[in-house]
Structure 1
């Protein structure tokens, strides 16, 4: 950390500070300590990198400012990593930081489990919008399986319940989002019809059980 700070100070020109930390912090980048779900670690890295790019930080600033957002176990990880680096090693680049962060906080074993969860994903009792959100989350762990739009459509269709899947398969869609939009509309209509059917059945059941009065 001290080496990174020194390098940052050496980048000042004519005594005028070039620190962009204030601009970086304006975007309210999240802090990171520990994640039981690797998605959380990946989301943190993506969110921080987005703010670093918005602030137009250079490579060393990216590492320095990202380190400032680490706490707890994540801070311990970095200190252990830094301790293992040779004393005369070059400053850690942003690419090296990303690779080592992901290697430690997003281990391959968990990635494989998430990939299997994606392949087995079914809509079940979820609304299509909920299923789509889950699909989008898990597909990040299997990018090769959704490399193009046709692959995304095929995997998405496979996880829908049979009736909806069959209805959607009778058409072709220009892109994945169009398929999702049609699935949401049709699924909502199905649920409206089912709710109406249950109400009518309830009314019919109630009328059949109404006590009769004997004629005088």
Structure 2
């Protein structure tokens, strides 16, 4: 997955620099090292000398197919589809959701589907609270469980403090008053 992260980072830089296809390929290929550089050298040797310049899309597609096996992509897609909040804080769950959703873009292409997947992964109590509402967009949906989850944690902390006070104090009356003889 490092190769995927690298490609995304390079593409972001290239978009900022507003490079054309040839510049993108030249820049990205100059950033390769080790096995990735060996792949690039081999890829170039396989291209005929009179072939047109390699496009950025060709570079990305070939880089991906070599460095990111389909089996790994399937595993990441399955990890996304089965993602559950579990003991994660809401912000952690949201970050993990965002990280994994890029491996299954078709399942979250529409806002409605993205909301459905996000809701499906929340713990049952929170899911139940949120299902009765409709949200105009994904971000509106995300904002609600963050606030609700924070309030739940606050209430649990208060409950623990109150229980701790009840156990720590000896305020129960004695059944039989002691008398001195």
Q: Do the structures match in fold with TM over 0.5?
A: yes
**Per-residue displacement from partner, 1:160-215 (whole Å, max 9, x unpaired)?**
011111111121111110110001000010011011111111121122499x9x78
How far the C-alpha of 1:158 sits from its partner, in A, is 0.7
Residue in structure 1 matched with residue 145 of structure 2 by the alignment = 183
- Aligned pairs for 1:192-203 (under 5 A) are 192-203=154-165
Alignment partner of 1:140 out of 102, 105, 123: 102
Q: Give how far 1:66 is off.
A: 0.9
Q: Distance in 2 between matches of 1:142 and 1:199?
A: 43
Alpha-carbon shift at residue 114 of structure 1 (Å): 0.8
Mapped partners of 2:109, 2:20: distance in 1: 31
Give the counterpart of 2:35 among 73, 76, 94. 73
Corresponding residue of 2:134: 172
1:28 counterpart residue number: none
Matches of 2:69 and 2:84, distance apart in 1: 25
Q: How far off is 1:55 after superposition?
A: 2.1
Runs of 4+ with deviation above 4 angstroms: none
Q: Which consecutive unaligned segments of at least 5 residues does structure 2 have?
A: none
TM-score (norm 2): 0.89
Partners of 1:52 and 1:143 lie apart in 2 by 22
2 CA distance for matches of 1:137 and 1:209? 52
Is 1:155 aligned to residue 117 of structure 2? yes
What CA RMSD, in Å, does the superposition of the two structures yield over aligned residues? 2.1
User: Using the alignment, how far apart are the partners of 1:164 and 1:132 within structure 2?
Assistant: 14
Gaps of 5+ in 1: 1-37
TM superposition shift of 1:86 = 2.8
- Aligned 1:40-59 pairs, distance under 5 A: 40-59=2-21
How many residues in Structure 1 have an aligned counterpart in Structure 2?
176
Instruction: Give the TM-score taking structure 1 as reference length.
Output: 0.75
Give the match's secondary structure for 2:133. Answer: coil
Could you tell me how far 1:47 is from its partner in structure 2?
Answer: 2.1
